């Protein structure tokens, strides 16, 4: 929805001995620095004009954050306007046995 036609979206899982990091990286529109601290808040929409055009409720990233925290994990974001974003969810690895 935020990556133009011809853009790229990559999904990666990177495990280590304690955690698994899941990343979604795109070459989309990016998120302004002033909005980055708030994108995980319920109902927050970064650009109101763009939000009306693209739709959505502003709940998706908030749900991801709360689920990650419920499982002892965290979320993160790196983004540059007009270059794209990388969203990261880090979860502790389950103990087996």
HSE-up of 15 (CA within 13 Å, CB side)? 3
- Residue 15 inside a domain? The answer is yes
As a dihedral over the C-alpha atoms of residue 57, residue 61, residue 67, residue 69, rounded to 10 degrees, the angle is: -130
- Residue 34 inside a domain? The answer is yes
- Residue 68 inside a domain? The answer is yes
Residues 18-72 pLDDT 10s: 999 999 999 999 999 999 989 988 988 776 535 445 667 778 899 999 999 999 9
Residues 39-49 pLDDT 10s: 988 988 776 53
- Residue 36 inside a domain? The answer is yes
- Residue 71 inside a domain? The answer is yes
By residue range, what is the domain housing residue 64?
9-92
CA distance 55 to 28: 16
Backbone angles phi, psi at 26, to 5 degrees: -130, 165
The reported pLDDT for the residue numbered 49 is 39
The reported pLDDT for the residue numbered 43 is 83
- Residue 1 inside a domain? The answer is no
Q: Is the pLDDT of residue 77 over 60?
A: yes
- Residue 2 inside a domain? The answer is no
Any idea what the CATH number is for the domain that residue 56 is in?
3.30.565.10
Our count of domains for the chain comes to 1
């Amino acid at each position: 929805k935020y990556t133009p036609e011809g853009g790229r979206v990559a999904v990666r899982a990177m495990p280590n001995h304690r955690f698994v990091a899941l990343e979604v990286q795109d070459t989309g529109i990016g998120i302004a620095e002033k909005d980055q601290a708030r994108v995980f808040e319920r109902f927050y929409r970064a650009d109101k004009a763009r939000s009306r055009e693209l739709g959505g409720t502003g709940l998706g990233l908030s749900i991801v954050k709360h689920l990650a925290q419920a499982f002892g994990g965290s979320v993160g974001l790196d983004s540059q306007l007009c270059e794209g974003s990388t969203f990261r969810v880090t979860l502790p690895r389950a103990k087996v046995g």
